[in-house]
Amino acid sequence: MPSSRLVGPSGLLLALLPLTASAVSYSYSLQDTYAGSNFYDGFNFFTDSDPTHGFVQYVDQATAISSGILGYGTGNTAKWGVDDTTVLYANSTGRQSVRLEGKVNYNHGLFLADIKHMPGSICGVWPAFWTLGDSTWPAHGELDIIEGVNMASTNQIAAHTAPNCTMKFQNQTGWANGYDCAVSTGGAAGCATGSNDQTGYGDGFNSNGGGVYAMQWTSEFMKVWFFPRNAIPASISSGSPSPALDFGTPVGNFDGGSCDIDSHFINHRMIFDTTFCGDWAGSVYSSTSCPLASSGSSGCVNYVAGNPSAFTDAYWEVNYIKVFSETVVADPTSSSSSSSSSSMTSTSSSSSSSSSTSSSSSSSATRSSSSSLTSSSSTTSSSSISTSSSSSARSSSTSSSSSIKPSTSSSSSSSSSIRSTSSSTSSSTKTSTSTTSTHFNLFNNQELDLFNLETHNLFLLHKIIDKYQTHNYKHIEQIFQQNHFIFVIDQENIFDFFVDA
């Protein structure tokens, strides 16, 4: 895990840190507009396999156009969706879709996304609009501005960072679920917030004509607002957005904790993607009321493969993205030094193909962040680990943990289950019953933190899989057995861990 000692993007910005909230204000001037016939020029088309293990085939621009899934809508909006005509085999790569990654990396600024339509609240679908740092995840941070899975009706906003970054989520309208954004200590779920406003996501967003998502990023904080179509602030409509003037209280206020924003969020590019099933939508599928839900993630894949017409509404339609550069102005009533200006630093990102390697393995953890494996409370010698949503935003629609049968393929006679930390019985000396972490040394330097298994969940699993460059789960099972672990994955992608007593 990368250390928190990162070099800031600019000495000037770091020098400004001592200025307090009351001492500065921010003004913005337009830097980049992504709209109309130039919209797609601002993005690379990511075509690697999905870092989040979705049932998806990301295609390049030419393929997307010829497949009829990318183009323009009424009013010259950028409009792109997914293949909604082809019946697929479940053993195929997946449904054709598009993942756009911005060509410019930003530090600070005001980001406005005027979105007319986003993928609806559709079983199997997992859309996201987010920003991602340019280093190995999560060293330079990630901010998920729009994200949800399956039939979700509300949005979740989350951050994932290097160590030593907590938020207080005060002075915001949204709920909070997790305050520690650091993957290493807060788990892969990150720090998350969101609104119960159904006009902010999926079907409710679309039927209301969408709206504007705004993200303000300064040295002090990152704030996210959502304005429904009929409540867009005048300063945005007039083209001179001013958060302090008329944005009001944000949904999410990433502020107030230990986090030094400038060392945790660096060189972010914007990403739009629509995937299917995979680390989040697939892992919680069994707890939805979607078709084939009882078959879990394989049911998700079968549903997505066999029902193309279900995904006609899984499209994005964007009026514009505008990025404004920041000027920091000292408050004249303050006795602090005179105004200093720090305009946004932009660096051109490398091509998507060259950056995709690091971002693929890195963001696999990212997208898996919101589902968790929780150890069951079973006291039998072999207990299973079930997937469940760790997100309170999701809990309304996917409230119950999926019930998973114990693995049948392992010889469990000598196995004792890994217990949750609340477990009072110790299956071995390695089982922790306190809040201190218990580490199990796996292979070489790999450590599996059992206490944090609940939150690290799929992130750890994919670290293990990535390490062995394989999806051959039998192979992994053997490795675990050699290390006195038995790891089992069944046909429904359900993960069981056992400690060999």
Ligand X SMILES: *[C@@H]1O[C@H](CO)[C@@H](O)[C@H](O)[C@H]1NC(C)=O
Active-site residues, by number, are 142, 147
* Residue 89 is a binding residue for ligand X (CB under 6 A): yes
Question: Helices 352-367 and 453-467 sit at what angle, rounded to 10 degrees?
Answer: 140
Contact (Cβ atoms closer than 8 angstroms) between residue 198 and residue 154: yes
| Least Å from the CB of residue 301 to ligand X | 12
# chain residues binding ligand X, by CB under 6 A: 12
Which one of the spans 167-175, 334-342, 363-371, 372-380 is the region binding ligand X (CB under 6 A)? Answer: 167-175
Regarding 170 and contact with ligand X (CB under 6 A), the answer is yes
> Looking at 178-186, 249-257, 315-323, 446-454, which segment touches ligand X (CB under 6 A)?
249-257
Residue 4 makes contact with ligand X by CB under 6 A: yes
Residue 168 in the binding site for ligand X (CB under 6 A): yes
CB of 161 to ligand X, least distance (A): 11
Considering only the stretches 175-183, 252-260, 351-359, 390-398, report the one whose residues sit in contact with ligand X under the rule CB under 6 A.
Answer: 252-260
Residue 180 sits in the site that holds ligand X (CB under 6 A): no
With contacts defined by CB under 6 A, name the span among 152-160, 162-170, 353-361, 412-420 that binds ligand X: 162-170
Site for ligand X in 256-275 (CB under 6 A): 256, 258, 260
Q: Is 491 in the site for ligand X (CB under 6 A)?
A: no
Specify the 3-state DSSP secondary structure of 376.
coil
For the residues of 300-363, what is the DSSP string, one character each?
HHHHHHH-GGGGTT--EEEEEEEEEEEEEEE-TTS-SPPP---PPEEEEPPPHHHHHHHHHHHH
| Distance in angstroms (rounded) separating the CA atoms of residues 232 and 84 | 32
Nearest to 298 by CA among 121, 465, 124, 148: 124
Reported as type and span, the H/E element at residue 463 is helix 453-467
- Residue 291 neighbours by CB under 8 Å, 6+ apart: 123, 299, 303, 307
Contact between 171 and ligand X per CB under 6 A: yes
Q: Closer CB to ligand X, residue 50 or residue 180?
A: 180
Is 399 a binding residue for ligand X by CB under 6 A? The answer is: no
Nearest-CB residue to ligand X?
Answer: 256
> Under the criterion CB under 6 A, does residue 164 sit at the interface with ligand X?
yes
The sign of the torsion formed by the CA atoms of 442, 446, 452, 457 equals negative
Q: Which residue lies nearer to ligand X by CB, 182 or 489?
A: 182
Contacts of 306 (CB under 8 A, 6+ apart): 87, 88, 90
Distance CA 458, CA 350 (A): 29
Question: Of the two residues 78 and 157, which places its CB atom closer to ligand X in the complex?
Answer: 157
Judged by beta carbon, residue 84 or residue 255, the one nearer ligand X is: 255
ω before 138 within 30° of 0 (cis)?
yes
Interatomic CA distance for residues 464 and 462, integer angstroms? 5
Q: Which residues bind ligand X (CB under 6 A)?
A: 4, 89, 91, 164, 168, 170-171, 253, 255-256, 258, 260
